[in-house]
Chains A and B, each alone.
Chain A
Amino acid sequence: MTQQGVRWTADQVLALAPDAASRKAGSKLGAAGPWSEAGSTDEGTVWGLCRGSGSRPYRTVIDIADSTGPAYKCSCPSRKFPCKHALGLLLLWAGEDGTVPRGQVPDWAEEWTEARKKRADDKRAASAAGSPASGDPEAARRRAERRAEHITAGAAELEQRLADLLRGGLATAEQAGYGLWEETAARMVDAQASGLAARVRELGAIPSSGPGWPVRLLEECALLHLLDQGWLRRERLPDGLAATVRSRIGLTGSADGPPVRDHWLVLAQYDTSDSRLTTRRIWLHGAESARPVLLLSYGAAGRAPELALPVGLALDAEVSAYPGAGQLRAALGEQFTPPAPTTIRPPGVSVAQAAARYGEALRDDPWLDSHPVTLGRVIPTPDGDTWQLADADGELALPLTPAALSGSGLWRLVALSGGTPVTVFGECGHRGFTPLTAWPEGPGEAVSLC
C-alpha cells in the first residue's frame, strides 16, 4: 500500500496532545500565520519554522513513521511532549491547504532524523546480538529466586489477612476503611508483587462504592485468594496459566512471542492515570489474523506516554505477544509503513456472542474484568437512568458500564447512531460494556468515543 498523499485528520492529531491545554494551544498554531519553510516527505517526516515570541523561530520536526509512534523534536523550551508547535505543525500538515508541501528535508531536520535512524539501527543490532550482558545468568537466576521467595511470603501473608477478614466478617471492612488496605498494599510492594498490591488497593475503595458493595468485595477477595493460590501452586499449573498467574502477580515477562506481521487497525487509545503513573492502552485489530492486541505504554504522572497511534488508521507492522494464556498484550515491533487511513473495519458480533466471548476468555484468565469485542448492528438505547446497546435484529441488549455513562463519548455514540444500527468496538465484561470506538452503518470514518 502506498502512502502517497495520505494525511491524518485533526482529531487524530489532537489525540496526540498530552493534555487539554496543549490541545488548545496546538489548535491555535494550526494555521499558516506563524509558519514558514514548512514541508513534508512521503516517508513521514514533517518540518517547519514557527515564529514565537523570541527573535529566532522555533525549528520543529516530526517523524510520523517512527516504529514507536510519532517522534518529535522542537527547539522550543516547552517540557510538554509533543509541544504545541509539533501539534500545530501536524494540524497544518493534516489540513492539506498547501502550506506543508512535499519537499526536500532541510539539513537541520535531516540531522535529527539521521541520528534517530542510527540509534534505532544500533539498538536493533544490539538486540540481534543477544540481550546486553547483565551479569552472569547464574546471578540472574538467584535474583529471580530471591524475588519469588519474597512474593511467596507476601502471598502467604495476604492469605492470612483475607482469612482474618472472612472470619470476622466483611461488615468490619466498612469500619476499617482505607488504612488497613493501604498498609497491606505497602507490604505487597515490599514483597515485590505489584499486581497483588494494586488489587489490594482496589479492595480498599469497594466498601464506599455504593449499594451492593459486600457482593463486590467478596468477589474481589475471592479472586485475590485465587491468585494467591495460583502463585503458591504455580508448579502444578499448565504452562500458559502459570504464565498468566505470574503476569497478574506483577512479574511481567518479556514480549518474546514470535513476531506477527499484519495490517493492524488502531481500534482505540485511552489513558488512565493514578497519582504515580499514566497508563495508555491501545487496542489493535489484525486485518488478516483477526487478532485483538493490546499495547501498553506508560508515562510519569501528568505526562503523556510516548507511544501514540491515531484511532482509525492502520499500519503494516510486527507485534510480539507477552507470555500467558489469554493475554492479549503485545509489544509493537518493526513498523513497515506509517499509520494511514484505511477502510478496514473489524467484523461485528451480536451481543449474545459478545457475552459468550468474555465467558470463554475467563477460561484462560479468570481474573479478566473485560474482553475486547466489536458489536455489529447495535442501537444505543436509553433504559431508565442508564443506556444499553441493543441488537438491531434481536431482543437482547448489554448494559453500558457506569463509567461509560459519565463521559462525552456516550453522546457522540448516540448522535452517530441517531436511533439506527452502528458498529461499536469496546470492552465487554462483568460490569457491562464500555464503548470505545464506533462506525456508522454506511461508509464513514471511525469515531473515537474515549
Chain B
Amino acid sequence: MEGTHMNRTPTPTDTVSTDTASADASGGSRWEELVTAALLGTARRTPSGIPAGREAPTALLDAAAVETVRRRAGMRPGRAAARVEPAPADPRPLLPPAAARRLAMLLADRPGTGGGSGGRRGSAPDLMELLPQWLATANRRGFAPRPEALPSLLDAARGRTDLRPAVLAFAGPRALWLARLNADWRFALRSTPGGGAALPGPGEPDRIRELWEEGLFAERVALLSGIRARDATAARELLATTWATERAEDRLMFLDSLRTGLHAADEPFLERALADRSRNVRATAAELLSALPGSALAGRMAERAQSCVAVDHTQGTPTIAVEAPHECDPGMERDGVLPKAPAGRGERSWWLGQLVEAAPLGTWSRRLGGRTPEEIVALPVADDWQGELHAAWCRAAVRQRDPSWSRALLGVPAAPEAGGPGAVSLAERAKLLGTLGAAERADWVAGFIAVHGLSEAFQLLGVCTVPWSGPLGRAVVDALNIARDAGSYPWSFSGVMGLAERCLDPSEAPHLETLTAIPDEPENAAPGAGSYWAESFQRLVTTLRLRAAMQRELEEE
C-alpha cells in the first residue's frame, strides 16, 4: 500500500466507482487494460507485465487489487455544480420546541407512514384530524416551522388537498423554494399564485397593472380578490378597465370576486352587467344587486314581489294571500329572473320564488301591516303557498344576511316541527344559522339537541364556532350520555363523536372523566356496548387533553 498516498491518481469523480477517461494516462490505461482482460478472460487476453511464476488469472487479480485500492485512495472531489439561489428568509419566529415536537407527532400519524391501524378506532386519538386545528393556531400565532419538518408537511399536503392552504401558509417561503426542486411537490407552486412570488402591494400600481394585463388567469383572480379585500373600489375599477375584452367564463369568475366587500357603489357597474351578452353573467349581476337592499334592481323586485303577496282580512284571522305572477316579462328577465322552470315545477310558483328571494326583506313589514318578521312568519298562508313563500324568504334571509328574519324563520329550537316551518330543510337551517352571531347560533343548536337529540344535529353542529360554547358542549355530551343509556352502539354516533373530539372545549375534559368508566349493562342494551362507549369517551377525553396541550404549547413564547 506504500506510495498510494503520494501518487494520487486523479480519477473522474462524478461517479467515483467507474472509470471513464482518466486524466492520468498511465494509471487509467493500466486499469482499462485490466478490465478488458478480465471481461474477455485471461484465456483469450493476457494482460502485460505478469511476473514470472504467477498464473495469469492470479496475476490479473494481484494487479487489479493494487489498482482498485490506488483508485479509491486517489479519489478526489469533483467540481461543484451551479449553486441554487438560497431560500428567501422567513421573518416569523420559530415554533417553540414543544410545539415542534407535537407537530412531528401529528405528522407521524399520517396514513401510509405506519402499519395498518385501520378499522376500529380504539381509545387513541386520531392525530391527523387534529392537524387542521394545530395549523390554524400556529398560523394565527404567526410561527414558522423548523425547516427539517417541511418535507413531512409537504407530503401531508400532497395527500390531502383540504390541508393545502393551511399547510402552505404555515410552511412559508422555504417550502415553495423546496417545491421547485422536487417534482412531487409541484402542487405547492400551482396552489400559490405566481409560484410563490408575493402579490403586488398597494404602492405598486405598475406591477398591479402589468400582472392584471399579462398574468395567467389564476394569478389575475388572486390579484383581484387580494385588492378587493383591502380596497373594494380599486378592485372594481381595475376590473372595469378590461371588462369589455374579457371572455365570458372569465367575466363570470371576476364578477364573482366582487361578492367580497359588496357595497352600494358597485351598483352602476353591476347594472351595466345586467345587459351582458352572457346569461350567467347577467344572473350573477342580478343576484349581487338584489343583495344590495338600496339598489334599483332590489326596488324593482320589491315592487313585483309585493304585488303578489298581501294580507287578506276578509277571513276571521288575517291570512296571507298569494297571487303568483302570470308571465315573466322582459323586464323581469333583464333583472335576472329565469323564465324556464325546472322539470316538475309550475312556472308561476317558480317565478314567484325568484321575485320573493330577490326582494329586500325590509319591504315586507311595510307591505304586511307593520308586522315583525316573527308575526309575518306566524301568519297562515292561503292555498298551500306557505312552503313556496317561506322557502323563498329563507333564501332571501341567507342572501341578504338578515339575522332577524333568520331568527324568525328558524323559530324556537324546541318546536316539535324542529325549528322551521314548512319546507325548511336541515341544509337551509344550517345556512340560516350562519347569519346569526356565534353565541346565538350555539344556543339555538344546543336547544335543538336538547329536544331532538343528535340524529339530525351533525349538519347544524358543523356551522358552530370551535371550540363549542359551554351550553352547546354540555348539550352534546348529555345527548351522548342519553344515547348510551338507551343502549345503542357508539358508532351510530361516530360522526358527532368525531366532531366533539375536534370541537368541544378542552376545558370540559374533567367533566367527562366519569363517562370513561365501563358501566353496568342495562337489560335491553346491545351486548358489549358499554365498553365500546367507555372506549369512545376515553378517546374523547384523551383527544381533549391533547388539544389542550397543543394550545398550551403554541401559546408559549
Contact = CB atoms under 8 A, between A and B. Distances in A.
A62 B538 CA distance: 25
B401 interface: no
B21 interface: no
B38 interface: yes
A168 interface: yes
Given A24-B115, A34-B538, A397-B77, A168 B41 contact: yes
Contact of A396 (B44, B79, B546): B79
Contacts, number: 269
Contacts of A396: 76-80
Interface-central residue, B8, B71, B123, by most chain A CB under 10 Å = B123
B34 interface: yes
Given A214-B39, A358-B75, 19 more contacts: A21-B114, A21-B117, A28-B109, A33-B546, A167-B43, A170-B38, A170-B41, A212-B17, A218-B35, A218-B38, A355-B76, A358-B73, A359-B8, A396-B78, A414-B178, A415-B174, A430-B16, A440-B147, A447-B148
A215 B19 contact: yes
Interface stretch (B82-90, B239-247, B373-381, B454-462): B82-90
B555 interface: no
B61 interface: yes
B367 interface: no
Nearest to B541: A33
Interface string B96-129: 0110011011001100011111000011110100
Contacts of A394: 80
Interface string B466-487: 0000000000000000000000
Interface string B23-58: 000000000001100111111100000000001111
Given A166-B38, A399-B15, A399-B16, A31 B84 contact: no
B64 interface: yes
B418 interface: no
Interface in B210-233: none
A169 B47 CA distance: 13
A408 B151 contact: yes
A193 interface: no
A97 B87 CA distance: 35
6 contacts: A25-B114, A159-B58, A167-B43, A169-B38, A170-B41, A398-B78
A24 B118 CA distance: 12
Interface of A: 9-11, 14, 19-25, 27-34, 51, 53, 91, 94-97, 159, 162-172, 211-212, 214-219, 221-223, 225-226, 351-352, 354-355, 358-360, 362-363, 366, 379, 381-384, 388, 390-391, 394-399, 408, 411-412, 414-420, 429-432, 440, 447
Contacts of B87: 418-420
A166 B65 CA distance: 13
B72 A430 contact: yes
Interface in B519-557: 535, 538-539, 541-543, 545-546, 549, 552
Interface of B: 1, 4-5, 8, 13-19, 34-35, 38-44, 55-58, 60-62, 64-65, 67-69, 71-87, 97-98, 101-102, 104-105, 108-109, 113-117, 122-125, 127, 147-151, 174, 177-178, 181-182, 535, 538-539, 541-543, 545-546, 549, 552
A223 B105 CA distance: 45
A381 B16 CA distance: 17
Contacts of A215: 17-19, 35
B538 to A, nearest CB: 6
Given A359-B4, A447-B148, A390 B80 contact: yes
B80 A415 contact: no
Contacts of A214: 35, 38-39
A29 B109 CA distance: 12
Closest 7 CB pairs of A and B: A21-B115, A33-B542, A169-B41, A24-B114, A28-B124, A419-B86, A418-B87
A390 B78 CA distance: 9
B61 to A, nearest CB: 4
Contacts of B181: 382, 414
A166 B60 contact: yes
A359 B75 contact: yes
Interface-central residue, B114, B543, B549, by most chain A CB under 10 Å = B114
B68 to A, nearest CB: 5
A219 B68 contact: yes
A21 to B, nearest CB: 3
B39 A366 contact: no
B17 A420 contact: no
A395 B76 CA distance: 12
Contact of B108 (A24, A383, A388, A432): A24
B81 A397 contact: yes
Given A11-B101, A414-B178, A431-B17, A222 B81 contact: no
A218 B64 contact: yes
Contacts of B57: 162-167
A351 B16 CA distance: 14
B84 A419 contact: yes
Contacts of A358: 72-73, 75
B72 A359 contact: yes
B83 A390 contact: yes
A214 B40 CA distance: 11
B64 A32 contact: no
Nearest to B58: A163
A216 to B, nearest CB: 6
Given A31-B549, A226-B65, A415 B178 contact: yes
A221 B39 CA distance: 12
Contact of A11 (B73, B77, B98, B104): B104
Nearest to A216: B17
Contacts of A419: 83-87, 177
Nearest to A88: B124
A19 B115 contact: yes
B78 A388 contact: yes
A363 B17 contact: no
Contacts of A420: 86-87
A24 B122 CA distance: 13
Contacts of B113: 20, 24
Contact of A219 (B64, B77, B116): B64
B109 A359 contact: no
Contacts of B72: 358-359, 362, 429-430
Contacts of A415: 147-151, 174, 178
A168 B18 contact: no
Contact of A431 (B16, B42, B85): B16
B44 A169 contact: yes
Nearest to B44: A169
A216 B101 CA distance: 44
A383 B181 CA distance: 11
A163 to B, nearest CB: 4
Contacts of A51: 123, 538
B41 A366 contact: no
Contacts of A447: 148
Contacts of B41: 166-172
Contacts of B13: 398-399
Given A33-B545, A94-B101, A97-B552, A21 B76 contact: no
Nearest to A422: B147
A431 B72 CA distance: 9
Interface-central residue, A10, A23, A96, by most chain B CB under 10 Å = A10
A363 B77 contact: no
B151 A27 contact: no
A211 B14 CA distance: 15
A408 B148 CA distance: 11
Contact of B61 (A21, A24, A222, A397): A222
Contacts of A416: 147-148
A34 B124 CA distance: 9
B80 A10 contact: no
Contacts of A417: 147
Contacts of B80: 381, 388, 390-391, 394-397
Nearest to B14: A399
B50 to A, nearest CB: 12
